[in-house]
A = this chain, B = another copy of it.
C-alpha cells in the first residue's frame, strides 16, 4: 500500500471516540509535525492552544454555539441556518465526546494566515491518522469571542482561531464518504 493510499484509508473525520485519554506528549509531537507544513514566506505564523479538559471543552462549545446563534440573526446563510436545530440543543456538544481539542490560530493581521493554518491543520490531521488517532475539524467550535475565555485558554488578542480540531482514539474509523468527480474547469496545454 502506498503512503497516499494509507493516508486516504486512515484519515477520516471522527466524531465518536473511545474512553482513552490522549497523551500530551503525543499531542506535542503531532503539533511539531503540523509545523512541517509549508507557509507563505516560511513565516510559520501558527499558534496552538490545547484543551484536554472536558469541562473547559463544554464551556467552549456553549460559547461557540451561542455566538453562532447570534450571527444567524444577521447573516442570512442557508448553510448556517441548517445548524440552528442542533445549536439550540443544550445537550449538543460541538466537540462530541472527544477527549482533547487543539485550536490552531493565526495572526489577525496576516493575509496568509487562513491558508497557512489550514495547511498546518492538514499536516496535523495526517500525522494523527498515521498514529492511529482520529481527528475532526469542527468549525462549529471556532466562534469564541468572549475575551476572558480566549485569555483563559491562552489565545492572544492578536490571534484568531482558524482551525478547531478534536483529537482522540476513534471508537471505529468511519467509512470514506463518497467523493464527487473532480471538477476540472479547463486544461490548457
Contacts and interface: CB of A to CB of B under 8 A. Distances in A.
Interface of A: 2-4, 6-8, 11, 13, 24, 27-28, 31-38, 40-42, 44, 46-53, 56, 77, 79, 105, 110-112, 114-115, 118-119, 121-123, 125-127, 130, 137, 139, 153-156, 162-163, 177, 179-180, 182-189
A3 B131 CA distance: 10
17 contacts: A3-B3, A3-B130, A24-B187, A31-B184, A34-B182, A38-B137, A42-B177, A44-B180, A48-B182, A48-B184, A50-B187, A52-B187, A105-B185, A112-B139, A115-B118, A153-B185, A156-B185
Given A4-B127, A53-B188, A122-B122, A36 B115 contact: no
Nearest to A186: B154
Given A48-B183, A186-B153, A115 B112 contact: no
Contacts of A185: 47-49, 105, 153-156
Contacts of A177: 42
